Amino acid sequence: MAQRMNLYSFIASFVCLGLFFLFSFTEMLNSVENSLKVHPLSIILALTIISFFLGVIGLSGMKESKTGVRSFTTLVLTSGLSILLIFIIGVGKLLG
């Protein structure tokens, strides 16, 4: 079970990274924000935090070096993206 969590969190971290780039560099940001009434980066932040905690759970299923590298990559990607998103959202609220 934990090994599956490790794999799912690894995939989810790349999905979150892709969504971040999609919403940051395209015009979809305004249309999604108008239709959902929630900032899309806040949704990506929530997904990234969920992926981080799934990655922490996945650490318990580490049996090989491959799964260890996958867990470490997941935790680094999701924590870095979370810090970046918190900074962007925080500065945006201060200036907006």
Could you tell me the residue range of the domain that residue 24 belongs to?
2-95
Nearest one of 38, 41, 37 to 23, comparing CA atoms = 41
The model's pLDDT over 11-51, given as tens digits with 9 standing for 90+, comes to: 999 999 999 999 888 887 777 878 888 888 999 999 999 99
pLDDT of residue 42: 92
pLDDT of residue 18: 94
What is the tally of structural domains in the chain?
Answer: 1
Task: Grade residue 64 by pLDDT with cuts at 50, 70 and 90.
Answer: confident
Distance (Å, whole) CA 59 – CA 6: 7
pLDDT of residue 16: 95
As a dihedral over the C-alpha atoms of residue 80, residue 21, residue 24, residue 8, rounded to 10 degrees, the angle is -60
